[in-house]
Amino acid sequence: MKRSLALSRVYQLLEPGPVVLLTTARDGRSNVMAMSWLTMLEFAPPLVGCVVSNRNASFATLKATQECVINIPTDDLATQVVGIGNTSGRDIDKFATFGLTRQKASKVTAPRIAECYANLECRVVDTRMVTAYNFFVLEVVKAWLDRSCAHPRTLHHQGWGTFGITGETITLPSAMP
């Protein structure tokens, strides 16, 4: 169902600010964390800046492998998103615990999450801000989108398990990307 998306359109998925699920893998083990602190930095090639705290198990894996996948869930996965955010991959296999399906990525070792409507395969391209802010700069090298999900009800975290859900969509005349 998911097909390749032009890299120049990736910003349209992340600019609205949805919660995402970040997957990493090392030595045959994969993990997933919930993340809301990310922003676009450049349109093309798409660059994404994100905070992965050094308290997260994913931090060491991301630093070592320099690879990850950004997966975008919709509100049918809200329970899993909160569960993932409240547990650690040091203790459990989050894929098994939360019933998520690993899908092979094409350019990175980290898995894609089948249940998410979009998957962005990423490589770390700048670690200069990691010491100061745990801030990684990622380049999206391959993007996948389920086009049957025309108006994704994405989750936007307001803290402590409260999420705004994207409802109505409006379009106004604009010459700006």
Q: Which stretch binds a copy of itself (CB under 8 A): 38-46, 64-72, 97-105, 116-124?
A: 38-46
Burial 165-177 (b: 16+ CB within 10 A, else e): ebeeeeeeeeeee
> What is the rounded end-to-end Cα distance, in angstroms, of the chain?
27
Nearer to a copy of itself, 27 or 162 (CB): 162
Using the rule CB under 8 A, give the single segment among 22-30, 57-65, 79-87, 94-102 that binds a copy of itself.
79-87
Tell me how long the chain is. 177
Q: Cβ of residue 138: shortest distance to a copy of itself, in angstroms?
A: 12
Per-residue mark of binding to a copy of itself, 148-177 (x: CB under 8 A): ---x--x-xxxxxxxxxxxxxxxxxxxxxx
137 touches a copy of itself (CB under 8 A): yes
Q: Which stretch binds a copy of itself (CB under 8 A): 24-32, 47-55, 106-114, 141-149?
A: 47-55
Question: Rounded to the nearest 5°, which phi and psi values hold at 77?
Answer: -105, 15
Is the CB of residue 102 less than 8 Å from the CB of residue 113?
A: yes
Q: Which of 1, 6, 29, 37 binds a copy of itself (CB under 8 A)?
A: 37
Distance (Å, whole) CA 66 – CA 22: 13
Q: Which is nearer to a copy of itself, 9 or 26 (CB)?
A: 9
Q: Please state the closest distance from residue 21 (CB atom) to a copy of itself, in A.
A: 14
Strand partners, 113: 102
* Other CB atoms within 10 Å distance of the CB of residue 148: 8
Measured at the CA of 149, the angle between CA 144 and CA 154, to 5 degrees, comes to 90
Instruction: Please pick, from the candidates 2, 5, 18, 138, the single residue that binds a copy of itself as defined by CB under 8 A.
Output: 18
CA distance 65 to 94: 19
**Site for a copy of itself, rule CB under 8 A:** 9, 11-12, 15-18, 36-42, 47, 49-51, 75, 78-79, 82, 85-86, 126, 128-129, 132-133, 135, 137, 151, 154, 156-177
